[in-house]
């Protein structure tokens, strides 16, 4: 990857790489965002399942919410645009805890943080880098993995991102959801989300939501909805066809060589040695 191509589509803000679709002016102004106490923030490192959880919440009957586009997507006009929503806002973002608007923390808004096995996340982000014109082109998986391990990718290090949120895992306004658990026991995870948001769902509604938000169904719909710019959940593209690739657990095994796995695992052990979330991930992945 030439540094020229990286320069043209990425920029650094407070030491973290962002796509230029997130303007520096907007990132600088986030602390002035007019936060409401009933706002819900849907947070994750990129390629961890944000779209899926967003679709699930949108499909809960009686939720009375509006899904907005990500808070860091666009220019300074985004903050004015978000004021226009009258219903309860569900706002997606890939920001680390430190970069989240300060008023979100002060008002203790509800936050759902989604975690996914970092090996699967890395593979998914690699494909995203290859297919998404808003990201630099990387030639090979090996080259990308090196960048991923150094944290030289959009939104920085996976490890730092997860740890920044884990520090707040016991805050009452934060719910941590694992992508793998959602795959394994959909209704249990959905009930957790609904209870957290203060919404009731019964079993027949859960079955309906499970069908509507199945990967194949979402992939089909993404083609139909692709022209709908209001339905942008990813801060890196409004092209929904780029978002749904495989949606499986454990695909990393088809990419990592045994040496790459060893290097990755060593870093994981070192960085996450005090992490409770890492232990859960190792159990469920």
CB 235 within 8 A of CB 92: yes
Q: Give yes or no: 94 in active site.
A: yes
Given the residues 51, 94, 161, 231, select the one marked as catalytic: 94
Q: In the structure encoding, which two tokens stand for residue 162, read together?
A: 């997860």
- Contact between residue 76 and residue 29 where contact means Cβ atoms under 8 Å apart: yes
**Contact of 65 with 88, CB cutoff 8 Å:** yes
198: left (phi over 0), alpha (psi -120 to 50) or beta: left
End-to-end CA distance of the chain: 31
Indicate which residues carry an active-site annotation. 94
């Amino acid at each position: 990857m030439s540094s020229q191509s990286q320069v043209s589509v990425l920029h650094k803000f407070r030491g973290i790489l962002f796509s230029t679709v997130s303007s520096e002016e907007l990132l600088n102004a986030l602390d002035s965002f007019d936060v409401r106490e009933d706002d819900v923030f849907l947070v994750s490192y990129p390629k961890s399942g944000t779209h899926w959880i967003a679709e699930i919440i949108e499909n809960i009957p009686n939720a009375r919410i509006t899904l907005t586009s990500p808070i860091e997507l666009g220019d300074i006009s985004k903050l004015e645009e978000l004021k226009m929503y009258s219903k309860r806002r569900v706002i997606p973002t890939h920001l680390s805890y430190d970069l989240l608007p300060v008023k979100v923390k002060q008002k203790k808004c509800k936050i759902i943080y989604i975690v996914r096995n970092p090996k699967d996340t890395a593979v998914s982000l690699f494909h995203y880098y290859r297919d998404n014109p808003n990201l630099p082109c990387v030639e090979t998986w090996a080259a990308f993995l090196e960048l991923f391990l150094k944290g030289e990718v959009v939104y920085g290090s996976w490890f730092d991102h997860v740890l920044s949120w884990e520090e707040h895992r016991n805050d009452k306004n934060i719910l941590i959801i694992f992508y793998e658990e959602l795959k394994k026991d959909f209704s249990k995870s959905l009930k957790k989300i609904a209870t957290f948001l203060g919404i009731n769902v019964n079993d027949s509604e859960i079955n309906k939501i499970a069908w509507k938000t199945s990967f194949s169904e979402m992939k089909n719909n993404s083609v139909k909805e692709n022209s709908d710019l209001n339905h942008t959940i990813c801060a890196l593209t409004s092209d929904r066809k780029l978002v749904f690739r495989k949606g499986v657990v454990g695909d990393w095994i088809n990419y990592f060589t045994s040496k790459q796995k060893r290097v990755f695992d060593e870093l994981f052990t070192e960085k996450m040695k005090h992490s409770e979330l890492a232990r859960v991930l190792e159990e469920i992945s």
